[in-house]
Amino acid sequence: MGLFHAETVSRRLPGARLVAVADPVGGEDLGADRHYTDADQVWADSEVDAVVIAAPARLHADLVVAAARAGKSVFCEKPMSLTLDDADRAVAAAQVAGVVLQVGFQRRFAADWAAARALLDAGQIGTPRLLRSLTRDPGGFDPARVPPNTIFFETLIHDFDVLRFLNPGAAAVEVYAVAEALVEPQWRDRGLRDTAAVMVKFDNGATGFAEACFQTTYGHDVRAEVFGSAGTATVGDARRTAMTFSGSGGRTIATVQSDQELFGAAYVAELTAFIEAVRTGTPPLVTGHDAREALAIALAAAESAACGQPVRVTA
C-alpha cells in the first residue's frame, strides 16, 4: 500500500513533494529526495510537514504518536491501532501536538459511497433502518502470514466504517459475529478466519450487516447499501468498465481484480483531502475518532466470534 501512496504523493498530487521514504527493507526508487531505513530519521527531517504511515498495523499507533510529537501531520492507514488504549493515545498525541490526523478509510472518498452519503445528508433516504457492507478479496493470501482476527481488524474494519458513514451520528452498541476458515480450512485450528459475517446494532435502532471473505474466483468485490424510511442507496460494482460483451457463450462483463484498481481514484482523493487539511488547518474528513469507533466494533466482533454470543461495544 505504501508504494501506491508514495507514487501518489510523488506523481499524482500537484503541490505535494515526496521528501523522504522510510522503510527498513525498502529499496525501491519511489521518486523521493531521500531514503531512510528508520522512521526516526523522518521525524528529524525539518523539510517533512506530513507523513503517510503504511507500515504493518501493529506498528501504527507508536508511529502516529512519534510523528505527532515531532510536529508532523499524519495520514495513517487502517487500522490506526489494534487496541482502544492505543487509539486513544494516538488521538491524544495528535490533539496535543495540534497536527492533522486522518485515517485510511478510502471508501468514504469513492464516488459511489460519497454519493450515497450525500443523498442521506440531503434527506432523500430518510432515517436509516438497515445497512449492509461487504468485502470480498480476490484471494492469493498466505495463511501463515495472516494473524488471527485480521479479517476483523484489517478487512471488516472498512465495512464497519462504512456502516457508520451511512448511519451518521449513530453509535454501535452491540455486535454478533460468526467467522470460519472456509478458504483454508486446515488453518482453522491455528486461528485463521477467512470468512465472516457480523451484525451490528446501532443506538438509533438501525441494524447493519457486514460480511467478508478473503477469496473470490472473479476479483475484488466491494458493495454497500443503506435502506431508509424514504429510499435505498446501493453502491459498489465490480465491473471493470461499463462494457458488456455478448457472444456465443452469452453475456460477460470484466471485473476489477484488485483494491488498487477498484479504489485507485479514492486512494488519490483521500490523500488530496489530507494535504488540503494540512494546508488549511481544517479538520480531516476521516478522523482518529472514526478509527477508534470502527476498531471498537472490530474488537467486539472478534470477541463475539470467539465466544458465540452477542457482545456490547465498548464506548
Ligand X SMILES: NC(=O)c1ccc[n+]([C@@H]2O[C@H](COP(=O)([O-])OP(=O)(O)OC[C@H]3O[C@@H](n4cnc5c(N)ncnc54)[C@H](O)[C@@H]3O)[C@@H](O)[C@H]2O)c1
Q: Which stretch in 24-32, 44-52, 65-73, 234-242 sits in contact with ligand X by CB under 6 A?
A: 24-32
Smallest gap, in angstroms, from Cβ of residue 268 to ligand X?
12
**Residue closer to ligand X (CB basis): 77 or 293:** 77
- The torsion angle over the Cα atoms of residues 116, 106, 199 and 60, rounded to 10 degrees, is -160
Nearest CA-CA partner of 292 in 110, 87, 61, 153: 87
- Note whether 221 binds ligand X by CB under 6 A: no
From residue 80, give the alpha-carbon distance in Å to each of 10, 147, 172, 200, 286.
Answer: 23, 16, 19, 21, 12
- Note whether 154 binds ligand X by CB under 6 A: yes
Nearest CA-CA partner of 293 in 198, 194, 202: 202
Number of residues this chain uses to bind ligand X (CB under 6 A): 19
- Note whether 23 binds ligand X by CB under 6 A: yes
- Note whether 45 binds ligand X by CB under 6 A: no
- Note whether 25 binds ligand X by CB under 6 A: yes
Q: Which stretch in 49-57, 112-120, 232-240, 279-287 sits in contact with ligand X by CB under 6 A?
A: 49-57
- Note whether 56 binds ligand X by CB under 6 A: yes
Angle at 18 between CA 14 and CA 24, to 5 degrees: 155
C-alpha cell at 23: 522503510
Q: Which of 78, 117, 164, 193 is the binder for ligand X (CB under 6 A)?
A: 78
From residue 152, give the alpha-carbon distance in Å to each of 121, 168, 169, 211, 315.
Answer: 28, 21, 22, 10, 18
- Note whether 161 binds ligand X by CB under 6 A: no
Smallest gap, in angstroms, from Cβ of residue 146 to ligand X?
11
Q: Which stretch in 19-27, 123-131, 190-198, 279-287 sits in contact with ligand X by CB under 6 A?
A: 19-27
- Window 252-271: contact mask with ligand X (x via CB under 6 A): -------x------------
Mode of pairing for the β-strands spanning 34-36 and 20-22: parallel
Residues contacting 226, CB < 8 A, separation 6+: 116, 120, 125, 128, 130, 131, 132, 166, 167, 232, 233
- Note whether 5 binds ligand X by CB under 6 A: no
- Note whether 22 binds ligand X by CB under 6 A: yes
Q: Which of 7, 12, 17, 26 is the binder for ligand X (CB under 6 A)?
A: 26
- Window 89-128: contact mask with ligand X (x via CB under 6 A): ---------------x-x----------------------
Q: Which of 20, 30, 51, 54 is the binder for ligand X (CB under 6 A)?
A: 54
C-alpha cell at 266: 479514492
Smallest gap, in angstroms, from Cβ of residue 153 to ligand X?
8
Smallest gap, in angstroms, from Cβ of residue 8 to ligand X?
12
**Residue closer to ligand X (CB basis): 119 or 256:** 256
**Residue closer to ligand X (CB basis): 69 or 312:** 69
Nearest CA-CA partner of 263 in 27, 58, 57, 78: 78
Which residues are near ligand X by CB under 6 A?
1-2, 22-26, 39, 54-57, 59, 77-78, 104, 106, 154, 259
